[in-house]
Amino acid sequence: MTPLVLQDGRARAAIAVEFGFNCYEFQAEVDGRVVDVIDTLPGFLEGGRRPTHSGLPILFPFPNRIRQGRFRWDGVDYTAPVFPERPDAIHGYALDTPWRVIEQGPRHVVGRWQLSVDAPDRAAAWPADCIIEVRYELEQAALRSKIRVANPDSRPLPWGLGTHTYFKLPLGPEGTYEECQLFAPAHKQWVLENCLPTGELIDVPMEKDLRGGRPIGNSSLDDVYTDVRATAGAIECVMRDPAAGLEIAQLTDPIFRELVVFTPPNRHAVCMEPYTCVTDAINVQQQGMDAGWRVLPPGEETTTWIDVVVRKCTG
């Protein structure tokens, strides 16, 4: 597979259009140093790796899990396909199929994915047809993503959205992965059983509280945070390498009210996963809880955004 490459002087990005429009490489120059931001496993482009284990997977029309792949919507029972050896459906339908490039320039590209067109074998497993467009654009040391979700169907579209970026740490040779710090303005946490929410919310435990910044150390995180608060119109999560004097900031639209933080085992990477809803939201919402699940009326659309910025440490 030939990747699509964007270039903008201080930055470079590579996108695997055929594997979910995954931006699997992003490099940015800061203060004369080239920073490799995204972690991708060897063999990804050859198709020998799960699409959820590398780069920047796009999770749509639902992020994370649906319990046993089963849900009921408007009186109809649905079964979502599951990955081999997993009990639940996970991470949507768009991340492992080809997208279509509808616009391209030297430093930007727009990809489109439509359920009925690009994954017709999965269309019967969702209540309505759906479209997602993602515009990647390089701007100095930033990768900006503008996202459009549209409902081309005559039926209401239930949906959720997330990303699953693997951020590579440390950001220079001076420090270590364990010394890097994580910051996230998350005030609550969902209680999970087998990676699925019970419906109970708790205050973030001290050992997982990222509001003031926390070294990774020997942490093993795979947690769903909520009550993630915006400042000046954006939610800002930061991965900081004090030894290098550099940090990655992920800024998102406040629509991304949930945050999964995951430290993948045996890798020097951290996933900061912004979600518009909690995992299994299509089931949790219908149990009377505010899970962040969204419904788009026929013929309507909505837009949102995520920025990844490399910069000198701000703290």
Q: Domain containing 43 — which CATH number?
A: 2.70.98.10
Domain range for 85 is 4-312
- pLDDT interval class at 86 (50, 70, 90): confident
What is the pLDDT averaged over residues 258-277?
97
pLDDT one-digit tens code per residue, 156-208:
999 999 999 999 999 999 999 999 999 999 999 999 999 999 999 999 999 99
The pTM of the full predicted model, rounded to 2 decimals, is 0.96
pLDDT one-digit tens code per residue, 213-248:
999 999 899 999 999 999 999 999 999 999 999 999
Write out the H or E segment, with its range, that includes residue 274: strand 269-275
Share of the chain above pLDDT 70, in %: 99
- pLDDT interval class at 2 (50, 70, 90): confident
On the question of pLDDT at 131 being above 90, the answer is yes
pLDDT one-digit tens code per residue, 291-301:
999 999 999 99
In terms of Cα–Cα distance, which of 131, 190, 136, 180 is closest to 21?
A: 136
Amino acid code (one letter) for 70: R
Which of the residue ranges 21-25, 49-53, 149-153, 208-212 would you say has the lowest mean pLDDT?
49-53
Sole residue written with tokens 């999964």: 260
Number of domain units in the chain: 1
For residues 299 and 82, give the distance between their C-alpha atoms in angstroms, rounded to a whole number. Answer: 29
- pLDDT interval class at 48 (50, 70, 90): low
Predicted pLDDT at 21: 98
Residue 205: asked if its preceding bond is cis (omega within 30°), the reply is no
